[in-house]
Amino acid sequence: MKIKAPAKVNTILKIVGRRANGYHDLAMVMEKLALCDELDFELTDSAIELTQDGQSDAGMEAHKNLAWRAAAALREAAGVSQGVRIHLNKRIPVAAGLGGGSSNAAAALKGCNQVWGLNWSNDQLAEIGANLGADVPFFIYDGPALVEGIGDRVTPITKLPKLFILLINPGFAVSTLWVYKRWDELNLACGQSSVTSLNHEGSSPEPRAPSPDFEWLTVNKAGDTVPPLFETAADVVSHLDNDLEEVTAGAHFEISEIKTFLTDAGASGALMAGSGPTVFGVFSDARSRDDAVAKVKNSSWRVIATEN
C-alpha cells in the first residue's frame, strides 16, 4: 500500500499564548501542497521496520523518525501484535518549515490503521498524533484547516482558492525548537504585551480570547467546517502573517533576500513557511510562477514549483 504525505504552508501563524509547560498556543491557517513524500506499507509478523531514500537526515536511526514513532505509538495504543515495513521516499526538504516529518507521522498512522485493519477514526488517530508533534493532527484530515491550541484543535475550512506557489529553500536547516525559544526570549525581553497568557511564574495560563486582528477566523463556525474565508488568492495574500518570521529572518538574512526576490519576480505575496527557513511566494498563475523559476541565479537555493 502506498500513501502520499503532503507538505504544508501556514498562510497565517499567530502565537496567542504560552503554557506553563513551555508549549505555545497557536492560531493558524494551514494548507496542504502537491509536493509530497511517499510511504509504502507492508504487513510483517512483528517488527516495525523503516527504510528511506531521497533527502534525509544523515545517519538518522529509524526509531528516531516520526513515521516509525507514529507506527509504534499506534501499535501500543491498539494492542497490535503484528508489525509493518515502511519505506519512505523523501521529497520534502528536511527541517524546512514545510511539515514533512509531521506529515510522514500522519501518513504512518493512516497507513498502519489500514494495514492492521483497525478502522480507527480520524479523531482517534489525531489524538495519537497530537502526542507526536503539533502539526500531525492537521495532516490526519483532508484539506485546509484552521488549527488552534497546540495543534490539537483542527477545524476544516471548506476550501482555499487555487494558489500557484513557488517554494525556495536557502539550503540550510532551522531548528523549530530554537525558533520558539528565541521568540520567547525576544518577547520576554520587551515585556511581552501582545500575548497576555504568557506566564513568567510558570503557573497555568488563563483563558484568552483571540486578538482583535484574528477574531474573524474563529467566529461563525458551523458544524465541522468554517465558511469560506478566502474567495480569491488576493484574499489569502492580504492576510499572510507569520509571527515566527521575524525571529528566523533576524538570524538568517537569506529569508528577506528570498522574499524580495519572489516579489520582484512577480509574486503577489511572500511569507516564510512555519519556522523556516523555506519561503513561499504566491503567483497569479502557473506561467508566472514558472517564469520566476528561470530567474533564480543562486545555486544554493532549492526551488520547487507547486500548488495547493
Res. 292: pLDDT tops 60: yes
Cα–Cα dist 235/257, whole Å: 24
Please state the domain extents for the chain.
2-156, 164-307
pLDDT at 21: 84
pLDDT at 38: 97
Cite the active site residues. Answer: 8, 135
Q: What is the pLDDT of residues 225-249, one digit of tens each?
A: 555 568 889 989 999 999 999 999 9
Expressed in angstroms, the distance from the first to the final Cα of the chain is 24
pTM (predicted TM-score): 0.86
Res. 272: pLDDT tops 90: yes
Q: What is the pLDDT of residues 241-270, one digit of tens each?
A: 999 999 999 999 999 999 999 999 999 999
Cα–Cα dist 141/179, whole Å: 26
Cα–Cα dist 285/302, whole Å: 21
pLDDT at 234: 92
pLDDT at 131: 93
Residue with cell 507538505: 7
pLDDT at 43: 96
Cα–Cα dist 25/20, whole Å: 11
Cα–Cα dist 133/150, whole Å: 9
Q: What CATH number does domain 2-156 carry, 1.10.3210.10, 1.10.3300.10, 3.30.200.20, 3.30.230.10? A: 3.30.230.10
Calculate Rg over the CA atoms of the chain: 19
CATH topology of domain 164-307: Alpha-Beta Plaits (3.30.70)
Residue with cell 510558570: 202
Q: Which of 25-29, 68-72, 211-215, 304-308 has the lowest mean pLDDT?
A: 211-215
217 — pLDDT class (breaks 50, 70, 90): low
Residue with cell 501582545: 194
Cα–Cα dist 45/297, whole Å: 51
CA separation, residue 85 to residues 63, 65, 67, 116, 125 (Å): 13, 14, 11, 12, 19
Q: Which of 91-100, 116-125, 183-192 has the lowest mean pLDDT?
A: 183-192
Cα–Cα dist 8/102, whole Å: 10
Q: What is the pLDDT of residues 123-165, one digit of tens each?
A: 999 999 999 998 999 999 999 998 988 888 898 887 889 999 9
CA separation, residue 40 to residues 8, 90, 129, 186, 295 (Å): 20, 12, 19, 43, 36
